[in-house]
Structure 1
Amino acid sequence: MAKLKVGAVGTGGMFKGSHLTSWLANPDTELVALCDVNKEAVEKIAAEHNIADVYEDYRDLLARADLDIINICTPNLYHSEIAVAALKAGKHVFCEKPDAVSPDEAVQMAEAAKESGKVLMVMRNNRFRSVAQFLKAYVENGHMGECYTGRCGWIRRRGIPGKGGWFTTKELSGGGPLIDLGVHMIDLAVWIMGNPKPVSVSGSVYTKFAGTELSDSAHSAFGEKRAGGVFDVEDLASGFIRFANGATLQIEFSWASNIEQETRFVELRGTKAGFSLIDDDLKLFTEIEGTLCNIQPQIVKNGHGHGSNIHHFVDVVLGRNEPIFTPEQGVDMIRILGAIYESAKQGKEIQL
């Protein structure tokens, strides 16, 4: 069987760190073309990995009839534009998160995927972590009972990525840590809960550390910093999500705040059991034979799941698996994030 030919748009840090090696390692794909507005940088990557063709305009890339898959790792603003164009050109699309910067754009992506009959998948790497797979099975097999409330977040002490660049420029990014980090942990929590439909949100956003130059997080290395550049996004967001089945979820995401240390967490509570996942440390809380018990599963870690997500996408394209993620879930995610920003602006709960 001939390999699927892949063309990548956007070859910055996320592509180099999480996508590139996955495409090269997959036995069913061949990375044949790269596209980036930074010609010097993209030519360097192409030379290092023997990739023949380089483009500066994604439209020229999409004009190639031999490409099967387009991988998108551009600044957030361009995700929807390129994805819709690629789907209309008859390509399958794998896109870095977030899906889009507005609900309307996420809807356009989902509609384009449906009309084209091609696979559209957006990075949801946390679903592929071994601990997440364990929790999903634990809940689906009824061990949690009714999973009715919880909280999730990713909070940093000082970890602003690419300050002054596209990360902190709302026009390009769509927002700060809520859209950057929120996609990860909200998605993980909602997926484990069984993807209940969100019906309303309430939230607040704050910008208190735009002037700081301190960093204690490796994640602040993402993006290109620009002295004197734009910083018009939040550095902390908090909120509350209600779902159609009555479940609720508290959220908090920050690039900078006065806490002890950077932490990622999901905590969910059910009628039979609950769990706390803090970074990679999982604990279950339940009752056994009339006794309250704390259980710490011994799960072998498998990294952050980026490669597994891409390999799953390839299996879906080849008809070997059903998609773990659907464009409709992406629409729900961007509706949640957009409504939290709107709630912060209006100072009231927003119905979805």
Structure 2
Amino acid sequence: MTRRLKIGIIGSGGIAGAHVQAYQVLADVDVVAVADMIPGKAAQFIDFWKLPSAVPFDDYRKLLELELDGVSICTPNVAHYQTTVDALRAGKHVMLEKPMSVTLEEAVEMADTAKQTGFMLNVGFQPRYDPNMTIIQDVVQSGQLGKVYYVETGGGRRRGMPGGTFISKEIAGAGAMADIGCYSLDMALNAMGYPKPLTVSAYSSNYFGTNPLYHNEASRFDVEDFGVAMIRFEDDLVLNFKISWAMHMDTLGPTLFLGTDGGLKVTPAGKGPWSGVFDGSVGAITYFHDVRGHHTESQIPLVDHKINLFNEKVRDFVEAVRDGKPAPIPGEQIVRNQAIIDGIIRSSASKREVTIELR
């Protein structure tokens, strides 16, 4: 008989509900504890999601004293670092919501702690579980594009600014970059095998979020709603990154991979003011190449699927815990994603190019 895994959830905001639902569809997994720093909130969460055997905590450190196989960390961004480090040191595998952290230094220590303790740090990028993302990765890594020298990624919503904890620098660390930009970065970087970034030159603004005409919490909006950056990587590769929560435009364009032998254009799925970024699925994939000297465009057929990407992310984590496998999306890799976001923040603040220092 398979032993039932015991899972704790730290942070009981909106995204924690998605984690509970994903765990509930899996056999032999029990959510046995929930922690939230707001008194009474964990208990309310347990009642709402009908988790009668779960124990509520106001202090997540008390939750970590339990015998747990893993924890989902669903706190605001600013708490990711300390909560993750404490969970790993307490001997728990970690399923961490994106973004990984607020600063590069935090991300590095989190990854180092996972390595030192031998416990898994898995970062949640559910779009990777779309089979069409695998197609992109396969094409880029197959070599049929030749040497990829330029990549353009990002996206933008015409109107798609959240509120609450997302718009406070003190709580979120960053705005659109941390919320949706990390997805676009992961899609492009993962397709290329996560190359090492070297420098960043960036600009950011928040003209929409701070304007009461566009946001009803404008007075407390102090993160960026738009950002753009040029990132240089090893092996003479550059990436043009752009992201926006709001703009007077229908799109910031598709993701592009330019290679010496071919090119790939990837458009995000969805329509409407909240679409246009890669936090969801893929809308179209087009392969540009030459055949016998003639310009040729090939539409790559998309995989039509009904996969619940979020559930697959959690399932993969659970299977890795149960089978003793490495983290499906290891923190050690996502450090480079965080390094770019950290560089964008530093560059846009200093209004100059900055260097990324990585081992």
Q: What TM-score do the two structures reach when normalised by structure 1? A: 0.89
Give, in whole Å, the separation in 2 of the partners of 1:265 and 1:82.
36
SS at match of 1:20: helix
The answer for the alignment partner of 1:119 in structure 2 is: 120
SS of aligned partner of 1:134: helix
Q: Counterparts of 2:20 and 2:262 in 1: how far apart (Å)? A: 40
Q: Is the 8 A contact 2:200 2:340 kept in 1?
A: yes
Aligned counterpart, 1:308: 312
CA displacement at 1:208 relative to structure 2: 0.5
**Which runs of 5 or more structure 2 residues have no equivalent in the other structure?**
269-281
- Structure 1: where are the runs of 5+ without partners? 216-224
Coordinate RMSD, CA, aligned: 2.1
Instruction: Specify the alignment match of 1:299 in structure 2.
Output: 303
Cα distance between partner residues in 2 of 1:239 and 1:51: 48
- Which secondary structure does the structure 2 equivalent of 1:318 belong to? helix
- Superposed CA deviations along residues 123-164 of structure 1, whole A, max 9, x for unmatched, are 1212211110111122222222222211111311221111xx
Distance 1:199 1:302, change over 3 A: farther
Question: Do structure 1's residue 275 and structure 2's residue 269 form an aligned pair?
Answer: no
Assess if the C-alpha contact under 8 Å between 2:120 and 2:330 holds in 1.
no
Match of 1:192, as an amino acid?
Answer: A
Matched, 1:49 2:45: no
1:191-270 paired onto structure 2 within 5 Å: 191-209=190-208, 210-214=210-214, 227=217, 230-260=220-250, 265-270=254-259
- Corresponding position of 2:184: 185
CA shift, 1:40, in A, is 4.9
Q: Distance in 2 between matches of 1:289 and 1:152?
A: 30
Shift of 1:28: 4.3
User: Which secondary structure does the structure 2 equivalent of 1:33 belong to?
Assistant: strand
SS of corresponding position for 2:340? helix
In 2: Cα distance, 1:273 partner to 1:309 partner: 32
The aligned length equals: 337
The one-letter code of the counterpart of 2:29 is T
- What corresponds to 2:87 in structure 1? 86
Q: Which amino acid aligns with 1:95?
A: L
> Counterpart amino acid of 1:184?
Y
In the alignment, is residue 69 of structure 1 matched against residue 58 of structure 2? no
TM-score of the pair, normalised by structure 2 = 0.88
Percent identical residues: 31
Q: Note the C-alpha offset of 1:117.
A: 0.3
In 1: Cα distance, 2:308 partner to 2:213 partner = 28
Compared CA separation, residues 286 and 70, structure 1 to 2 (3 A): same
Q: 1:229 deviation in Å?
A: 5.3
Amino acid at match of 2:31: L
Distance 2:309 2:263 in 1: 24
Q: Which runs of 4+ in 1 moved over 6 A?
A: none
Deviations, residues 72-131 of structure 1 (Å, cap 9, x unaligned): 111000011100000000000011001110111111111111111001011121221111
